[in-house]
Every structure is written in C-alpha cells, then in structure tokens.
Structure 1
Amino acid sequence: MSLFASNDATLPIIEPIGSSLDQMALQIDDPRRVLAIVRDLAMQAEPATLYPVDGQPHLSGRLVQVTEPGRRIVVHLEGPALPAAGPALLVAAPGNLRLQFTTVFDWQQRAGGRVEGTAELPASLVQLQRRRFARQETPLGPTLRAVFQAKGKRRVLSVDDLSLGGVGLRGPLRDHRDLVAGLRLERVRLELGTVLLMDLRLDICSRRPYKSFLAGEQLHFGCEFVDLGDSAQATLQKILERLGSGGGAFQDTAL
C-alpha cells in the first residue's frame, strides 16, 4: 500500500529545502527550540506537505497538535484511505520561513473521514530563512562592522552583506562559538564607514561555520532587524541604493 494515499487539494504543495544547501548549517537541535517551533506550527494549524522516504507520492495536511509531556505531534489529513505507518519528511512554510523534519507516523481513521497521524517530536529540524529584501554585498575596502555586548562579552563582527531586512555578520569561531540562532542582540551599533546606526536590535536567524584561507575558522550569522525605525530605514535605503549603483556609500557623510 502507498504510504500516503490521497491529497487535500485545497492546501499548497510545499517543496522541501533544496539539497544544494548546507543543511547541517541550517539545523536546529536544541530540544527547547525544536519544541517551541513545532508548537507554534500546531497552534496555527499550519499546512504541511509530507514526503515518504521511500519515494511514494506526497500528501498534504495540517499539523494540529503537540502533546506534552509525551512530546508527540498530531497531523490531520483529508481523505478516506488509511495510509500505512512509516517515516516521512514533513515540510512547512510559515511566514518567511521554510522548515522540515523527518519522523515516523502511525495513522488512524477518525470520524467524518479524517485521517489522523501521530509521531514523535523530532530531535532536530532544518529551518531556512527566506529573504524578503534584496541583499547587497558590502565592499572589501572600508571598515564595516557591528559592535554589541552579548553573553557578557564585547563583540565586534564584520558586515558581509546588508538589506532592509537584515545584515550578514562574520567573525572568528573561537570568539563567537557561543552565539546561536534564535538569540536576540540588543543595542547593536552598525559602523558603516562614516555612517553610524545606533541602538539596533537583531535576531540571529542562521549560523553557518566555514573556513577562510586567510582568517581560519569563521562563523557567518544571518541576522534580521527587529522594529527598525523610520530614520534608520531611510539611511539604509540610501546606502543600498549607492551600493547597487557602485557608488561610494560608506565614505559620504551626506547620507
């Protein structure tokens, strides 16, 4: 019997995160964060597409419940056919995120033709932040950095890229290994050459390790602005326009 037998045609088909991306860098394995993320999906009855690991056709449904302390999830499908138990990849796309995890489902027929699947809460999941704003790479010459305090330490990270939605930061692994995805950074100062943006708040959305030939082991942090003020947005817009046109955005104090 096919693992997944029918589709709810009213729900979207959500494609898995591409295998070309480094999924280890996008993986979340903190049990508390995994529970919080999946619980948020269930509270919204978020649409989900399930892909059997044996390659059978996908099935659409909704993630509707997380049970505690049993740490199990509940998925509802529409359709009369009862799927066979087995492992599947569940993919959801709330807001500007895409996330996925694999777990083993057991299925039961419920009243009204609904099929209910239960499975263990996954130990980890993969989460991808989809960009809402165009990103501009920053030039190599000027000193572009973010300065802030986090976990009792003064941090100085270089700016790799910039958008109206957020900023990419990088720094040595040895100095910043304790900064993780999900952490909120307060009172951040962005130093963009002669342009300063003060008292910003950033959420770390992704953390990716890599090795630089010159600088050694590094971490790249994808960060999202939180409640960015109108003045800061206007300044960023001018900087991005100049970056896009190849102008010298960071040495001009007349922004």
Structure 2
Amino acid sequence: MATQNQTDDDSPFRVHSRREIVSLLTSMMEKNQLLSLLIKGGSESVITSILEVDEDDGALIIDAAPSTMLNESIVASNRIAFEALYNSIRITFVVDKARKVEYQNRPALRIDIPASLVRLQRREYFRIPTPIAKPLRCTFRITQPDGSFITIVTLLNNISAGGVGITDEKKILPTTQGVIYEDCQLELSDNTLVSVKLQIRDCKEFKMTNGKTVNRFGCQFIDIPRAVLGAIQRFITKLEREQNAKASGMM
C-alpha cells in the first residue's frame, strides 16, 4: 500500500544521542561546513552554514538565504531538510520551523537542534550495479481504492544499504516523489526474496539505444529490519567480490 507519509525513523544509521548530535554540528560549524537547506520537498534549496550552536537554548543559528523572498519561504515552511557531505559522511536532518533573527549585525535564521540525524558512511550508501546477464526484479504490490491489488514488476539496476535503483520498462509505476510503498519484494541473486518498504526519491525518463523510453527510479529503504539489511549487505559484498574477480581476470 502506498502512503504519502515520510518517516524519520528510517535506518540503523540514525543518531539520537543529543551529545553526539551537538558535537557533530559544532565540528561542522568550526570547519565552516556548507549545508544544503531544502524546502517544498526539495524543489527550492539554498546553501547555508552553521554560525552558532547554542546547546543551552537548544538552537542553531544558520546563515540566511540571499534573497528576502526565499527567506520568507523558509520561515513559512513546516518542514525544512538539511544535507551535507562531511568528512566523506552524508549528514541529513529535518526541523519543523525557522525564524528570522539577527546575528552579529547580519540576517540569520534560528532553528531547533534536531532531535535526530542520519549519518551515512560513503560505503553504506554507495550503490553497486546488479548483474546485467541475469536481471533481478523488484516487485511492487499496490492496493487500489477498491481494495484490490495490482502487481508491478520492475528491474533492479543497482543496490546499496540505503536503497535501490530500478527501471520500469512499461512505465506503469506512478512517478510521484515521496510516496512510500509498504509491500515490495526484492529479488537477490541467490534466489532469496526479501520484503522491503520503499520510498520514491526521484524519477527520470531514460531513452534506450533502441529508441524506447523507460522510467528509472531512485528508491530509499524505509524502516528496514536489521535481518533484511544484513541479507542485503551480504548480497552487496558478494557482488563486489564477483566484480573484483572479473576485473582481475579470475572469472
């Protein structure tokens, strides 16, 4: 079943420790780390940085956007996302609101220190291609308004501990970003099927060499059980070994 809900409890990579969060944000501030601030589902963004971490007040002061209009949009938003690549680690977090303040005689924004953040090592979210000779499938079971089900079979292009890339050759799967599909079956090469929950993160139309157009999706795992994540990580390790062996001429 698909829902529009976005989850914040999305992985074993989520950090909830207040001390660890404050320490990380302070380190990013001291090194003038740039962050992407995203609103309206990512359709509008601005580059910012952390000016101050006020642990006692539970607040972060960040650079304001360069335009008044964009600042007004940020302040009016109920969900503000942040992304950064810090020391080869992808950091993401979300806050509810921002308000305009002045910091050292210049415009700034105040947000709450996030209750949690996601920290992904490069290896954890690096996607590895799946075999072309023996295509694997990702099957979506979608509930219709009348309670019936339809099944959409897509091809698995790549996989990581954070999600998958898929191709919908028949262009049946809805392209709406942010939708979560609760009932998906992921086929692994050792004839293992695992059940996963997937969120559509992006979709692009792709033209193949034969002139046919297909839809390619980037999907994120949501609430993935540790046992399933372990199976996926073992599968990724197996793929890496096979590809390294081929590259070295051992296969």
What is the TM-score of this pair, normalised by structure 1?
0.51
Residue 10 to residue 137, structure 1, CA distance change in 2 (3 Å): same
What are the ranges of 5 or more consecutive residues in structure 1 without an aligned counterpart? 1-8, 17-26, 53-61, 74-90, 99-107, 119-128, 248-255
Answer yes or no: is 1:116 the counterpart of 2:90. Answer: no
Residues matched between the structures, number = 173
Answer yes or no: is 1:234 the counterpart of 2:234. Answer: no
Q: CA deviation at 1:219?
A: 1.6
1:153-203: CA deviations, max 9, x gaps?
421110000111111111136323x22221111111012244333331111
Q: Which of the pair has more CA radius of gyration?
A: 1
Q: Give the distance between the partners of 1:186 and 1:197, measured in 2 at CA.
A: 15
RMSD between superposed Cα atoms in Å: 4.6
Residue 149 to residue 109, structure 1, CA distance change in 2 (3 Å): closer
Counterpart secondary structure, 1:188: strand
Verify the 8 A CA contact 1:146 1:159 in the aligned structure 2. Answer: yes
Answer yes or no: is 1:133 the counterpart of 2:125. Answer: yes
Counterpart secondary structure, 1:145: strand
Percent identity of equivalent pairs: 19
What are the ranges of 5 or more consecutive residues in structure 2 without an aligned counterpart? 1-28, 47-57, 85-89, 94-99, 110-119, 145-149, 244-251
**More helix per residue:** 2
Residue 211 to residue 93, structure 1, CA distance change in 2 (3 Å): same
Give every structure 1 segment of 4 or more consecutive aligned residues whose post-TM-superposition deviation is greater than 6 Å: 35-38
Q: Give the distance between the partners of 1:166 and 1:154, measured in 2 at CA.
A: 20
Answer yes or no: is 1:243 the counterpart of 2:239. Answer: yes
Q: Once structures 1 and 2 are overlaid, which stretch shifts more, 130-139 or 181-190?
A: 130-139
Answer yes or no: is 1:12 the counterpart of 2:32. Answer: yes
Residue type of the partner of 2:172? Answer: D
Verify the 8 A CA contact 2:188 2:235 in the aligned structure 1. Answer: no
Q: Using CA pairs below 8 Å that are at least 6 residues apart, which structure has the higher relative contact order?
A: 2
What is the TM-score of this pair, normalised by structure 2?
0.52
